[in-house]
Amino acid sequence: MTTVPLSSNKLSLSNNATVIIDGKRVAEEIIESVKSRRAIENIVPGLAVILVGNDAASSVYVRSKSARAKECGFVSKQFDLHADVSESEVLELINNLNNDSTIHGILVQLPLPKQINAHHVIQSIAPEKDVDGFHYLNTGKLTTGDTSDVLVPCTPAGSIHLIKAVMGSTLSGKHAVVIGRSNIVGKPMASLLLQENCTVTIIHSRTETPAELCKLADIVVAAVGIPKHIKEGWIKPGAVVIDVGINRITTEEGKNTLVGDVDFDNVIDKVSAITPVPGGVGPMTISMLMQNTLEAAIRSKRIA
């Protein structure tokens, strides 16, 4: 088994060795590119992160985003709101950030407390500052293929980058299967693959014979949220597998660990390339967030 080199645009899949795609190294490459572009553009992007409540996992994730932003030379502002904050207070904060010319990217860490409608909050973010890529204007443009000024959701953007890292820039004609139809991963992932001229199948909870459909795929993107759900019998020999799932489980020995939606050990000998969990798609999500924030800042500068 081998790993994707840091600076490689394409790694040969013809040597019968399974490629373990090192998302951490590829993410570092993107971060270095962001730093270089920021310096060339002579701009200081501003990123605002809103955290509601004190969920431990969300707090860790937000700190990681803020640390990356500062590493890239961005101004990073974190707004920690108490768990019983009203929706109107959150919307007022977002409105202020929308009108703040020093802030180019706004994201609200999900999930939100039950008294807050996440839909209202996300859609209140100015589309040009929606670095998570969840605003309807961004998702609509992505769906129609009008991506000249769209901010693409970070996890799908990172996933397509990893696919190209091992398969090259031409994916035309490949059959891709996306497992999961969420608005955050599944649907935008399908749109990105369609733009690469792939034939795309989306498998979801109501799909009949999902394993048989998945077995036809040259590319499998698993984002279903079920630990080790995808087994060897679902995979075509030589397929490239991108595992978006991050599931915390307790092993038989009583140890807490993270696993993906794909049963890694079960499929490893059948695939040509696969992302591990952790260390695969996860690091890419934050690096693509930095790239989106820089892109938003550059567009803002050009408009100004």
Is 12 a domain residue? Answer: no
State percent of the chain over pLDDT 70: 94
Domain count, the chain: 2
pTM (2 d.p.):
0.92
Is 63 a domain residue? Answer: yes
Same domain for 130 and 223: no
Same domain for 133 and 249: no
Tokens of 90: 């959150």
Q: What is the CATH number of the domain that holds 194?
A: 3.40.50.720
Same domain for 234 and 199: yes
Residue matched to tokens 């209202």 = 120
What's the pLDDT tens digit per position in 195-220? 999 999 999 999 999 999 999 999 99
Per-residue pLDDT at 12 exceeds 90: no
Query: What pLDDT, on the 0 to 100 scale, is given for residue 272?
Result: 97
Is 175 a domain residue? Answer: yes
Mean local confidence (pLDDT), 172-179: 98
Burial 116-129 (b: 16+ CB within 10 A, else e): beeeebbebbbbbb
Listed residue (285, 56, 50) closest to 160, CA to CA:
285
Same domain for 257 and 186: yes
Is 9 a domain residue? Answer: no
Same domain for 162 and 133: no
Residue span of the structural domain in which 96 resides = 42-138
Confidence category of residue 55, pLDDT binned at 50, 70, 90: confident
Mean local confidence (pLDDT), 54-74: 92
Same domain for 132 and 91: yes
Enumerate the known binding-site residues: 180-182, 246
Enumerate the known binding-site residues for NADP(+): 180-182, 246
- How wide is the angle at C-alpha 132 spanned by C-alphas 4 and 287, nearest 5°? 30
Is 254 a domain residue? Answer: yes
Q: Select from 138, 166, 197 the last residue of a domain.
A: 138
Query: What is the rounded distance in angstroms from the CA atom of residue 113 to the CA atom of residue 64?
Result: 21
| Active site (catalytic) residues | 65, 109, 132
Same domain for 61 and 95: yes
Per the DSSP assignment, residues forming a β-bridge with 256 are 250
- How many other β-carbons are positioned within 10 Å of the β-carbon of residue 87? 16
Contact 217, 175 (CB under 8 A): yes
Q: What is the CATH number of the domain that holds 48?
A: 3.40.50.10860
Least confident of 2-6, 103-107, 279-283: 2-6
Same domain for 127 and 92: yes
Same domain for 181 and 132: no
Is 255 a domain residue? Answer: yes
Task: Say which residue, 152 or 7, is predicted with more confidence.
Answer: 152
Per-residue pLDDT at 279 exceeds 50: yes
Q: Select from 138, 171, 197 the last residue of a domain.
A: 138
Is 16 a domain residue? Answer: no
Q: What is the DSSP string of the chain?
A: -EE--TT-S-----SSPPEE--HHHHHHHHHHHHHHHHHHHT---EEEEEEES--HHHHHHHHHHHHHHHHTT-EEEEEEE-TT--HHHHHHHHHHHHT-TT--EEEEPSP--TTS-HHHHHHHS-GGGBTT--SHHHHHHHHHT--TT----HHHHHHHHHHHHHH-S--TT-EEEEE---TTTHHHHHHHHHHTT-EEEEE-TT-SSHHHHHTT-SEEEE-S--TT-B-GGG--TT-EEEE---EEEE-TTS-EEEE-SB-HHHHTTT-SEE--SSSSHHHHHHHHHHHHHHHHHHHHHHH-
Per-residue pLDDT at 86 exceeds 80: yes
Same domain for 167 and 202: yes
Confidence category of residue 3, pLDDT binned at 50, 70, 90: low
Same domain for 163 and 103: no
Mean local confidence (pLDDT), 53-77: 92
Residue 210's φ and ψ, nearest 5 degrees, are -65, -40
Confidence category of residue 254, pLDDT binned at 50, 70, 90: confident
Same domain for 164 and 120: no
Is 169 a domain residue? Answer: yes
Query: What pLDDT, on the 0 to 100 scale, is given for residue 162?
Result: 98
Identity of residue 58: S
